[in-house]
Structure 1
């Protein structure tokens, strides 16, 4: 069970909403941005200061909290974000409360309607995992719009559609602040944590297990432990052992970390989780895309080769035409086939005839087929060369993706595919600023810089733009890998071994031994015409054999 379901419960939301209310009360919602398909950012101006309220409605990581970091917004916000901007942007936050002691937050805002009159709009944020939702209502709690609409007959107890009245979900559980009913519940014998979460509203498995543990599995002591928890001071805490549990109280054993606020805890925890998820998603997408492209061009190459083989048999059509011209006096108008002796083949040759056409017309038909296939050979040879280039490109790209789990490196690969028109370009605002490439830079002996490219864009930039002609270039021999550039006045044997180790490590042979690495001056490097990616040819190289060693890389000072 992941951190959200274990940690964010009704008790957690109660104190989070109090914190948000204290921070944002009377604040003006200046801007609403869409960060991803399910994530939104509300910029709230409070006491001459901008505060960022982050809301995620993702099924795995739904939450709401303040953040300090600046985030990039969607180039094209969706219709729901535009609706929020129309009705909520510019409004003032009047209150933020939790509802029903459950994972529901109500944000009451005051704004101007279409007629210019002041009115209240309500945001109901329901953090129910895969049913996470944001519902906007008018002053009478009539639903104006929702992130997820739930229509009647969808096998869910609630209906959330425009025009319906907003109702809280009904679960028939005990209110966690109804101490009389709770004391009666805990008077039962042999209670387990599932009994607790099924009976008490807004209690997570994490808290239920803590109650049982502190009560030593004795039902008679569970009520006392529960009352102590209600009076326990807020102390947002993250368990550091596996970083999957956190809570608004300190209910963990060491090691753990405390935070100044619940928002700070959530930002720290989910920034790490979201970053991992972003890398996982783009890596999976690019891996599958490159795999599909490799298969596509392999199939294309196979089909082109078959067509070429067939086209190269075009001479038989010329021979048939020649035979018809040669023996036209022997062929009758009623013949549907003629068998004659071909002096070129030195054997008999069968020729099918179209009886609606004359002998000369039949011969011309075979000459036409011959010329068509002859011209096709040239075209097919060109297509085979292009397809081989594209196949090599995607095989190389597939290796770059599989060995890389850095988001910026992967995003650069995605941008390269967009530039080459293999991926569709999303409409975005034009910018004159080119993003700096994420190549690695190492320092050796405080004076020698070693640059490492981890994708085609980085390799091309380092080799053909950044490097000087007398810098040394390293690359693993006869396979795909990083371009490594050594920039410095002296090239010692130790420098060569470090650079070769980097070239071997950032290649397909990182797990192999005695890897051959070629090195030569940058002025000896040439681009290969027609090749996609970062393929080059080189001359005057020397070769060193190295065992890739990650510990040697850690000896270098990495500055980028």
Structure 2
């Protein structure tokens, strides 16, 4: 989700309540586009983290310190000179712009009181931190923007700071009903897009929520709305804006399983299919959301080499499978060649010398058949030619059938590793997957020293009825869960016909409620290739019916007696336990 104007409004309200009248005790610049202000408030020390990163612009209060470089950058030194020990008089947001202005009072070199502005612009790749005097003349900025980079506004020392109006959007906090629908009517886009492109600070997610709360399809245009629908939409829009103006915020993160999908400072009811976790402050939301997102991004980056190995092997095996399948198709007529040879042996004595074909009754079908012959060969030699062709294709068929089975098993295995990479949440997960690929010969072991056994644990959930459910995160964990951890009377779950995790429901020798079976099935659906599907078929049975084939890859099993259920992959109501 974009760091929209409503989120900025929630941040401003929080900062007004916590750091107004605080003193700036320390200023550091940990990265080229970051600031960390240490503030002394009446309640104690607080830290304000500000990032103008093009990929991840942020501002929030944090308890985490971040060390700066040994030599402070010029912008940091400038701020220390001017506003070190300065007092924050106020924090404001112009309209619903993604802009925060810190008004700071300090004493100049002569001891006179002066005011300066530290302006934070949260605008994606155009984000910046700009330091201005009382007349909004730019003293310096963390990023310089000359005319060659932007024809709209220069951000350079000596220039006057202003808010560029490039999109010509209306202020949603002051818009009238007539202005509201005039703006929407001028947009040929669908209603949801028309809302977020017409009004400042509104993100696509908030536009979708306003339409949903109004009971109106966001996929129609404003001109398709009836008079009543138009009035209802505007009222719902106003309800949202009234909450923003009054500072009524409900910070929350919306999770798809354990993965944070969205965050918001206001409720998002159209995400009823996601698990909502509320927080007491928007800073906690931003810190938690981006900490998890950054972890996921880092894990994806660190797992890129493993993913490349797996995808390369998958592509190679899929090409091999296609080639083998085409070659197998060429052996479809092998039995016909055998029949040709037998018929030539049975009726060939009637043929005149130099005959080019034999027409005879196929005693297997009772139908007449014509067999091509080589006129320079005898009937016996023609028969032997067809028998030789039959035997060659028979041997090819038998060999290819086995090769195709092996290639198919290899593809299934590699897809299961790819699925494990998709759900990896830590470096320990990647280490265990790398060890598995090493054992399988896809990764060369760099040193021969045997590593200690991994302490990486499977996922652990508690059902609504209090039963413990465990989920393997990769094939090695699946193997351990099924054949070493689970007891014979525990229940085993797996998505049918697709790569996925082994799920073990610990029964404790008790009769399991239907609701717990359904929840275990949902976990098997969620941690499979079919995650997100409305209906996923799940096989389940007591663990004692699950068998391992000698020589099979880790985590590969067979079973002949099982139950089935069809379930969705929504696990938002399940409680994860941190072991």
1:413-424 equivalences under 5 Å are none
Rate the CA distance shift 1:113–1:60 in 2: closer, same or farther, 3 A.
Answer: same
Q: Tell which deviates more after alignment, 30-39 or 274-283.
A: 274-283
Q: Distance in 1 between matches of 2:92 and 2:143?
A: 21
Matched residue, 1:202 = 201
Corresponding residue for residue 269 of structure 1: 289
Question: Alpha-carbon deviations, 1:126-184, whole Å to 9, x = none?
Answer: 00000000000112211010112221243431111101111122243211122325444
Counterparts in 2 of 1:188 and 1:116: CA distance versus 1, 3 Å: same
Conserved? CA contact 1:239–1:246, under 8 Å: yes
Q: Normalising by structure 1, report the TM-score.
A: 0.50
1:223 to 216, 220, 234: 234
Checking the alignment, whether the CA contact within 8 Å between 2:21 and 2:88 is kept in structure 1 is: yes
Query: Structure 1 pair 407/238, CA: closer, same or farther in 2 (3 Å)?
Result: closer
Deviation for aligned residue 1:549: 6.1
8 Å CA contact retained: 1:11, 1:101: yes
Q: What does residue range 402-551 of structure 1 map to in structure 2 within 5 Å?
A: 480=445, 483-485=450-452
Match of 1:122 in 2: 117
| Counterpart secondary structure, 1:225 | helix
Distance change in 2, residues 1:193/1:287 (3 Å): closer
- Contact 1:187 1:220 (C-alpha < 8 Å) held by counterparts: no
1:90 to 1:56, Cα distance in 2 relative to 1, 3 A? same
Show structure 2 runs of 5+ residues with no match: 218-228, 309-420, 454-475, 481-550, 558-577
SS at match of 1:69: coil
Alignment of 1:127-138 (within 5 A): 127-138=122-133
1:206-233 Cα offsets, whole Å, 9 max, x none, are 1112222223134442101101212343
3-state SS of paired residue (1:119)? strand
Cα pair 2:184 2:194 within 8 Å, conserved: no
Q: Shift of residue 260 of structure 1? A: 0.6
Counterparts of 1:103-502 in structure 2 under 5 Å?
103-171=98-166, 172-180=168-176, 182-185=179-182, 188=185, 192-215=191-214, 216-217=216-217, 218-232=229-243, 233-241=248-256, 243-252=260-269, 253-254=271-272, 255-279=275-299, 480=445, 483-485=450-452
For the Cα contact (< 8 Å) 1:96–1:105, is it kept in 2? yes
Change beyond 3 A, Cα 1:546–1:30:
farther
Quote the offset at 1:240 in angstroms. Answer: 1.3
Please give the alpha-carbon distance, in whole angstroms, between the structure 1 residues aligned to 2:301 and 2:71: 20
TM superposition shift of 1:16: 1.5
Pair 1:283–1:184, CA change in 2 (3 A): closer
Q: How many corresponding residue pairs?
A: 328
Partner-residue secondary structure (3-state), 2:239: helix
1:276 CA displacement: 3.4
The aligned residue for residue 38 of structure 2 is 43
- Answer whether contact 2:95 2:173 (CA < 8 A) is retained: no
Query: How far apart are 1:36 and its partner, in Å?
Result: 2.7
Q: Quick one: distance in 1 between partners of 2:183 and 2:138? A: 39
Measure, in 2, the Cα distance between the counterparts of 1:161 and 1:45.
31
Q: Report the equivalent of 2:20.
A: 25
Q: Distance in 1 between matches of 2:307 and 2:204?
A: 37
In the TM superposition, what whole-angstrom CA distance separates every residue of 1:54-93 from its partner, at most 9, and x where no partner exists?
A: 1111112101011133334344443222222222322111
Deviations 1:214-258 (A, max 9, x none): 231344421011012123431112121252322111123332111
Query: What is the TM-score when the length of structure 2 is the normalising length?
Result: 0.49
Q: Return closer, same or farther for 1:188/1:546 CA change in 2, 3 Å cut-off.
A: closer
Aligned to 1:97: 92
Q: Tell me if structure 2 keeps the 8 A contact 1:16–1:263.
A: yes
Q: Secondary structure at the match of 1:229?
A: helix
Equivalents in 2 of 1:201, 1:406: separation in Å? 36
- Mark the CA change 1:32 to 1:285 in structure 2 (over 3 Å): closer, same or farther: farther
* Secondary structure class of the residue paired with 2:169: coil
Q: How has the CA–CA distance of structure 1 residues 285 and 56 changed in structure 2, closer, same or farther, with 3 Å as cutoff?
A: farther
Q: In the alignment, which residue of structure 2 is the partner of 1:497?
A: none
Shift of 1:48: 4.8
Q: Distance in 1 between matches of 2:152 and 2:197?
A: 17
Q: Is the 8 A contact 1:186 1:222 kept in 2?
A: no
Aligned counterparts of 1:35 and 1:123: Cα–Cα separation in 2? 18
Structure 1: runs of 5 or more not aligned:
289-401, 411-438, 441-452, 455-473, 487-500, 506-544, 552-558
SS at match of 2:10: helix
CA contact (8 A) 1:126 1:134 kept: yes
Shift of the alpha carbon at 1:282?
6.8
Query: Is 2:296–2:425's contact at 8 Å kept on the other side of the alignment?
Result: no
Aligned to 1:418: none
Cα distance in structure 2, aligned partners of 1:151 and 1:168: 16
Structure 1 residues 200 and 279: CA distance shift in structure 2, 3 A? same
